[in-house]
């Protein structure tokens, strides 16, 4: 019986592995579960208001990984590499699994107006954090969005749904359309 573990694949920039998707889903599940256990008896509008920032940060993370370059795009790529590596290590060495690449075949890209919208969203998130203090729940959901934004499965739906909308809205607001 061969007990050798499969080799750990070194992730490439802009490619999400099964480990990265697992990490992203786990980060999302952490905050969603904590939210659900606190609100499962009564789903009020106030309860949904506490979930909204999490979903917005998840969407923002998916937009960040679609930024093609620069400091923000580089930080998102570095974050994707980190979540891929953490998930790959857990899957390969913790469970003996493999971690194939699960990146979407057709890569989404933000338009110039979409990039402008990401800048505005970044400023809004920084303004909220500067008023309310550092929020780990925001960080977890942004990392989850970065991990899931390029996935080819239903996990990558957030990137597929949000990117065209933000690009269109950004182009429309800045007058590119």
Q: pLDDT tens digits for 108-131?
A: 778 888 889 999 999 998 888 888
Q: What is the DSSP-derived secondary structure letter of residue 67?
A: -
Q: pLDDT tens digits for 27-59?
A: 999 999 988 887 777 777 887 888 888 889 999
Confidence of residue 26 (pLDDT cuts 50, 70, 90): very high
102 vs 123 pLDDT, higher one: 123
Instruction: Extract the tokens encoding 123.
Output: 């400023």
Q: What is the DSSP-derived secondary structure letter of residue 118?
A: H
Mean pLDDT for 62-84 is 87
| Contact by Cβ (8 Å): 36, 50 | no
pLDDT of 71: 86
| Contact by Cβ (8 Å): 115, 176 | no
Mean pLDDT score across all residues of the chain: 84
Q: Alpha-carbon Rg of the chain, whole angstroms?
A: 17
Q: Give the predicted TM-score (pTM) of the model.
A: 0.83
């Amino acid at each position: 019986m061969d007990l050798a573990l499969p080799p750990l694949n070194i992730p490439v920039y802009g490619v999400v592995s099964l480990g990265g998707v697992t990490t992203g889903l786990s980060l999302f599940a952490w905050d969603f579960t904590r939210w659900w256990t606190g609100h499962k008896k009564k789903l009020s509008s106030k309860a949904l208001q506490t979930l909204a920032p999490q979903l917005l940060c998840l969407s923002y993370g998916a937009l960040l990984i679609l930024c093609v370059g620069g400091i923000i795009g580089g930080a998102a790529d570095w974050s994707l590499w980190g979540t891929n590596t953490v998930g790959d290590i857990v899957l390969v060495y913790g469970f003996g699994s493999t971690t194939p690449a699960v990146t979407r075949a057709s890569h989404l890209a933000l338009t110039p107006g979409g990039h402008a919208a990401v800048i505005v969203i970044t400023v809004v998130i920084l303004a909220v954090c500067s008023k309310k203090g550092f929020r780990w729940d925001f960080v977890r959901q942004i990392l989850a969005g970065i991990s899931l934004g390029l996935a080819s499965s239903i996990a990558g739906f957030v990137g597929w749904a949000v990117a065209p909308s933000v690009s269109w809205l950004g182009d429309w607001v800045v007058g590119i359309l």
